[in-house]
Amino acid sequence: MKKQLLSFLSAALMLFVASCQKDDALQPLERQRTNEAGTGGVTASLIAGKYGNGFFIANEGWFGHGTGDLHFYSYSGDSLVTNIYHAENPTGALGGPSNTLQYATVFNGKMYIVVKAGGPLVVTDAGSLVETGRITTLPGNDGHAFIGVDATRGLLSASDGVYPITLPSLAVGAKVTGVAGYTGDMLKAGSYIFVLSQTDGIVALNSTTYAVVKKFGAANLAFAAGKDGGVYATNSDSLIRIDPATLVRTAVKLPFTVPSPWGAWRHAAITASTTENAVYIVRNNGFAGGTQLYRYIIGNTASLASPFITLPSGQYFYGAGAAYNKDKNELVMTTLNGSFTGDVNRVLMYDATTATLKKTLTYNGWYFPAMPVFHE
């Protein structure tokens, strides 16, 4: 009888643990903290590397109601931990209800979080998410994207151009000459920094002096760094390739029209593989609302004949929409349950070579996903 009782209790305990693990796969940070005994406040899988073993989802926040934040997907815990900035910085703020968290990137062990429409640039440790510095008021009161150039220099794009940022002091320098108007994404390749401007199109800057070297014309989505070394972007009807050694520009026609990003700027819906010669482009309806992703196998125009991935019914790309995760050879996609709005958020993980859907994470609420963010 005692042996039977022990067997029953053992089986019940196993079922309980399995149930808890299933529930913990997606839950608020507060609940995970409560369920983890003796860990000092965070899940055991996050203590060793903290937020190092996984990737982030930057969320815009619900405009007019609250500020944005970041979620973290843990590889080891196979879990999505919500609102980690505020969890690690209880008195911190990523702007206010009228500001939009639109961009974040990891550089040299720091995460740079840019909140547009009047918000700050906030810097945190990339492993702990504890804030280490900020620029409260950004140029033009509207910052967009940040790129690290080297250990002491970075660039911030804004509503009226590009500004040097001294690291780690975060001092803002005089605006870069030759880049005007609303500017967005930037990419460093070879000896150049490529900048996308609404006024000047794609601009190549000397990465040392920031002098304008060449302008390549208007573009809508930019940038992706191809495995072949090329810098990729699109205009309204073509995929553009720029050789960062020679600055030669070539183009391939797309089977769809790429909408303009200006007016409702978001991080570009274009990304590239580090495993194979493939560039991925989200086909959107305006700044969001698309359901198809195309893959261009570099040098093979026939690869653009049909979509590589079509989203499951009732899901629509939002924010950047798709980003390549080199750690897993996956495409990480962010969707909503409506064309331009919705309170059912999903993170889809597809095999970047086969287009097989490997995992779906769902989190409810008016978060509005801006972009996936990966460690370097």
Is residue 178 packed enough to be buried (19+ CB in 10 Å), middle (13-18) or exposed (0-12)?
middle
Residue 22 sits at φ, ψ, to 5 deg, of -65, -45
pLDDT band at 29 (very low <50, low <70, confident <90, very high): very low
- pLDDT above 90 covers a percentage of the chain that reads 78
Residue by residue, what is the 3-state secondary structure of 336-355? ECCCCCCCEEEEEEEECCCC
Residue 96 has pLDDT above 80, yes or no: yes
CATH dotted code for 219-365 = 2.130.10.10
Residue 47 has pLDDT above 50, yes or no: no
Q: What is the pLDDT of residues 186-202, one digit of tens each?
A: 999 999 999 999 999 99
Residues facing 363 on adjacent strands = 345
Sheet holding 316-325, edge to edge: 316-325, 330-336, 344-351, 357-364
What pTM did the predictor assign?
0.86
Residue 161 has pLDDT above 60, yes or no: yes
Report DSSP letters for 110-163, one per residue: EEEEEEETT--EEEEETTT--EEEEESS-GGG-EEEEEEEETTEEEEEETTEEE
Residue 322 has pLDDT above 70, yes or no: yes
Residue 42 has pLDDT above 80, yes or no: no
Give CA–CA dist 58/56, Å, rounded: 6
Give CA–CA dist 322/304, Å, rounded: 17
All structural domains of the chain with their residue ranges: 219-365
Q: What is the pLDDT of residues 239-286, one digit of tens each?
A: 999 999 999 999 999 999 999 888 888 899 999 999 999 999 999 887
Give CA–CA dist 161/358, Å, rounded: 40
Residues facing 355 on adjacent strands = none
Over range 41-64, report the average pLDDT.
72
pLDDT at 76: 86
